[in-house]
Amino acid sequence: MSEAGVKYNVSLGDLANNQNKSNDSLQLPVLVPSSTALHIGAIIMLVALLWGLFANFLVMIVIFTKRDLNNIINIFIISLCINDILNLGFNNNMVLLSYFMGKFPTGMLGCELATHFTVLLMGSSLWHTGLIAIHRLIVVVFNNFYKKISKKAYTIFVLVFARVVPLLFLIQPSLGKMAYYEPRLLRCIVKRDYGPFTLLVSIFLMMLPSLILIVCYIAIFIKVHESSRAFRVSRQREWLKREIKITKMFGMVFLLIMIGYLPYGIVRAIDKQLELSADFYVAITVFFAVANSSNPIVYGVMDKSIRHECFNALHINTKKTDKNGVAITHNSKQSQVDMEAETEIVPLNTSTKKTQTS
């Protein structure tokens, strides 16, 4: 580690000890990640950061500029892309710089804010997936009710609620004094004195939206299993297949958030005394960063419309030809009909008797 990095770690370590630890006359040497682990982690994070920013901006631009992609589902995707861009541009960038420099690049206030923003942005994304799960439940299971509600009002509610609730946790007088710098992690962590705050964050920003999503998805797939046998009309089957695919896409986004966060969260819960190797913490932090950059892959893999338009924007030819050698255009595919329009036309709650006689 560079000389400057050592000096910085010691000074901030002393500050942390003065704020949160006993005043021992003799202090043990501060253990920090090795330069090899930091450089390898920084390179991987840099690649993930550049990819994540590029892919999220590409998805946003494509949805904004293509009229065929203007629907509620893609508005939710744009909102999630904004969350990812904020997370990558600030939080992941701060961690990346700290790995290259061997020290956190800002003062204590910036260090603490980065800690809060990491959790709050993740909580915002989780609330997005939880409220989108309610939307999917209404569309698939209570379609008749869905026809009556204001789509615009619910969309605005999702976009506002998913951001306002996490921001409420920043409105407190102790902001700026809640964390201390931990050299082993090259970042700030919340002091033990604020255990109730950490518990509330875990409940309202992680557990509650996750529980909502799980309950909604169980209800959706139970209803689909019960109703799928009654579907004999091809159009109804195609509608059901498309709606389930959309539901699975947002389920994958939720899983990526949890897969990225859980390893680090579980390790920190177990290793409260920070006895594990500092290099190990670098590894799970890099894993978290890579997971944060992967949402655009889910959108592209599971949504043909977005994938096709992204390839077009990059001038990548994906046209297929039929048996006669004629190009099959994107607009000629039945599956590319506007999702919301189809949702309005073909309800899932059609009775078995009506379905069989149609």
**Residues 88-97: pLDDT tens digits?**
999 999 999 9
The whole-angstrom separation of Cα 126 and Cα 213 is 9
- Is 332 exposed, middle or buried (CB count within 10 Å of its CB: 0-12, 13-18, 19+)? exposed
Q: What is the mean pLDDT of the chain?
A: 80
What distance in Å separates the CA atoms of residue 43 and residue 299, rounded to the nearest whole number? 25
pLDDT the model gives residue 25: 36
Structural domains in the chain plus CATH codes: 3-357 (1.20.1070.10)
Summarize the confidence of residues 201-230 as an average pLDDT. Answer: 86
- Phi and psi (nearest 5°) for 296? -60, -30
Average pLDDT of the residues in 177-181: 88
The answer to whether residues 131 and 73 touch, using CB atoms and an 8 Å cutoff, is no
pTM of this prediction exceeds 0.85: no
User: Stretch 323-335: mean pLDDT, rounded?
Assistant: 50
Question: Quick one: pLDDT at residue 244?
Answer: 84
3 versus 308: the higher-pLDDT residue is: 308
325: alpha, beta or left, given left = phi > 0 and alpha = psi -120 to 50?
left
Instruction: Give the per-residue pLDDT at 198.
Output: 87
Higher-confidence position of 238 and 335: 238
Structure tokens at 295: 């949402």
The predicted model gives 299-307 an average pLDDT of 90
355: pLDDT confidence band, cut at 50, 70 and 90? very low
Q: Which residue has the higher pLDDT, 175 or 220?
A: 220
pLDDT band at 321 (very low <50, low <70, confident <90, very high): low
Average pLDDT of span 14-41: 62
**Alpha carbon of residue 36 to chain centroid:** 29
Per-residue H/E/C for 46-85: HHHHHHHHHHHHHHHHHHHHCHHHCCHHHHHHHHHHHHHH
